[in-house]
Amino acid sequence: MSYHFTSPILDEEFIADFLLYMSNEADAFRREQPDYAVFLRERKRWNDTMEQFGEDVPQQFDNEVLPAFLEYQKILETHMISRGLTDGFHRRPLETKAEIPGLAKAGTQLEKVCTAFSSRFQDETDAQCIAYLKLRRETIDKSRNLCRQCGAEGLPP
């Protein structure tokens, strides 16, 4: 069934609010996963380590590294929730490895920012930083199917 309207049925604000709601649902489901507890422990451990270096390190992390993670996560989750909705509506399976527009570029930028940030440390702190940043990205990447599932399940049967 296809309709041809001259203007959209739903306005942009509704769509943005709906995607935010679905993202929050996916995040709540993610937080219930056993792997997420590991991430939380490592995040606390890394935050404690950063505090040992004074204000400059956490501030640099918040201003440079965190926005790159948030951009990467936003691109992945928005796409997967949207795909889940459309594929659920059409009752077709989703190819989970399909390329996500803009994600490769955001991933490259994220790697660049993480490499620059971790290069300021030495020895054990460098290894801990790299391990934490890798775990954080893996946690986001694991949300791919959670977001798709939340999008697909957001539709009535």
Q: Determine the average pLDDT of the residues in 104-121.
A: 95
The pLDDT value given to residue 152: 66
Give pLDDT tens digits for 48-60: 999 999 889 999 9
Q: Tokens 């620059």 — which residue?
A: 116
Which residues are CB-neighbours of 29 under 8 A, at least 6 positions away? 146, 149, 150
Better-predicted residue by pLDDT, 146 or 110: 110
The pLDDT value given to residue 72: 96
Q: Determine the average pLDDT of the residues in 124-130.
A: 94
Q: How far is it, in rounded angstroms, from Cα 4 to Cα 147?
A: 29
Structure tokens at 72: 């990467």
The pLDDT value given to residue 96: 58
The pLDDT value given to residue 80: 84
Check if the beta carbon of residue 146 is closer than 8 Å to that of residue 76: no
The pLDDT value given to residue 95: 58
Q: How far is it, in rounded angstroms, from Cα 6 to Cα 131?
A: 51
Give pLDDT tens digits for 25-69: 878 888 888 889 999 999 999 999 999 998 899 999 999 999 999
Residue 113 to residues 39, 60, 69, 89: CA-CA distances in angstroms? Answer: 20, 11, 9, 38
The pLDDT value given to residue 99: 84
The pLDDT value given to residue 83: 82
Q: How far is it, in rounded angstroms, from Cα 61 to Cα 131?
A: 15
